[in-house]
Amino acid sequence: MYHNRRNFIKKSTLALAGSSAAFMFPMELLATMRKPVGANDRINVGLIGCKGMGFSDLSSMLKISETNVIALCDVDENVLKARTADLEKAGIKKPMWYRDYRKLLENKDIDVVIIGTPDHWHCLMLTDALQAGKDVYCEKPIANSVQESNIMLNYAGASDRMIQVGQWQRSQPHFVDAIDFVHSGKLGNIRLAKAWAYQGWMKPVPILPDTAVPEGVNYKMWLGPAPERPFNANRFHFNFRWFWDYAGGLMTDWGVHMIDYALYGMKAGTPKSVMALGGKFAYPDDASETPDTLQTVYEYDGFSILWEHATGISGGNYGRNHGVAFIGNNGTLVVDRSGWEIIPEEESQGGGKKAIPKIEAESHGTGGVNGLDLHTGNFIDAVKSRDASTLNAPIKVGYDAAVVSHMGNAAFKTGSRIYWDQNAGEFKEKEANQYLKANYQNGWKLPMI
């Protein structure tokens, strides 16, 4: 049975489930799905950041015939050309092009903005979009620091706009079913929740020399509030996430998705304390900065949450390269993007009876549904109804996961166990608080709360 479960997981897990490649959709097929819609019923969309997950979000949203993309914004003209060609395959005429997102936000015909840029841009773009009166679908993590997360939460609270964070697992039915089981109490007292991502497909980031800025790239705009540096291909497009200037490594990439569900299952917020151990153990001499191996422990009253990640290794917990496990006295529930299962404890008395029934992964799979499509559909439904209570991943969901993830990175950087002051909203160890703050450069200013 264990062998069958491993085969099931192996067959049903996407090799690139953590990247936008998992959601790439044939644009020619999209053309057959879209139906004519009257001008008064169209929801006009502008996409900021078109290279990766942003375009996957747009492609998913365009499966809804009422949505109409009228603007693309990217600092790389080569990307704008490629994405326009993709849209033409779907019978969609060339949208307006922008190189500066602020100009896109001035377009009053745009109703919805998708933010698919590197993390260090999210705070400025979301707050500016809200001030421009746009509804926003923002990729995760919502921000590159706790300070920015606080600003974004406050802006959202003062706005009547619809905001969905791209933590699409919140719309995936089997994840919802798994959490319902966790909340049922059948697992008994849950003392530990594990979340992990073991990414065997990730290879070393080769050391590359600085070069001239590629033709068609507005590199100054790409840097934005990040520190001024010479152009290096390693820090551009996909690999930006392995450099502290722009992102938080696997902790805020996969970690936000998985830690979100650990928090959701445990009904948890910020921890009492956090400690983290790890480093660049897989590829110590490659070009990346963020740790390729990390274990982070979050302390709560009555339980702990453990985050683990590793690159170059696929053999994660319970035979799954990613997932969340809720470990209770009666049994353990394990969930990932392929499905969920119950592994019962055997009672210590009474001849080794199972404490609760075993549930196999095969009977609780994904059902073939696309979580991203459900997520963007949920967002568009809220845009139409103007009811923010129906959103599956509102700003607070993104906020909680981002703050806890950034706290883990702060603990790693300090090398110490650090304690959270809930009332002050900062660490009790003052030296750790520097890692909660944004570091805006090049004349860009943090939005005022």
* 417 within 8 A of 411, measured Cβ to Cβ: yes
pLDDT at 27: 87
Predicted TM-score (pTM) of the model is: 0.93
pLDDT at 10: 42
- Ramachandran angles phi, psi of 244, nearest 5°: -60, -30
Looking from the CA of 213 toward its CB, the CA atoms found within 13 Å total: 14
Q: How far apart are CA 334 and CA 9, in angstroms?
A: 12
Q: Which domains does the chain have, with CATH numbers?
A: 2-169+375-395 (3.40.50.720), 173-368+399-436 (3.30.360.10)
Q: How far apart are CA 50 and CA 44, in angstroms?
A: 16
Q: How far apart are CA 68 and CA 43, in angstroms?
A: 6
State both tokens at 207: 């050391």
Q: How far apart are CA 82 and CA 278, in angstroms?
A: 39
pLDDT at 222: 97
pLDDT at 190: 98
pLDDT tens, position by position, 236-251: 999 999 999 999 999 9
Distances (CA, A) of 131 to 96, 97, 125, 159, 237: 21, 21, 10, 8, 28
Cβ neighbours around 40 below 10 Å, total: 5
pLDDT at 187: 96
* 314 within 8 A of 273, measured Cβ to Cβ: no
Give the pairing of strands 190-199 and 163-165. Answer: unpaired
Three-state secondary structure of 70-120: EEEECCEHHHHHHHHHHHHHCCCCCCEEECCHHHHHCCCCCCEEEECCCHH
Cβ neighbours around 230 below 10 Å, total: 11
pLDDT at 12: 39
Flag residues of the chain having pLDDT under 70.
1-24, 347-353, 361-367
pLDDT tens, position by position, 324-351: 999 999 999 999 999 999 999 986 545 5
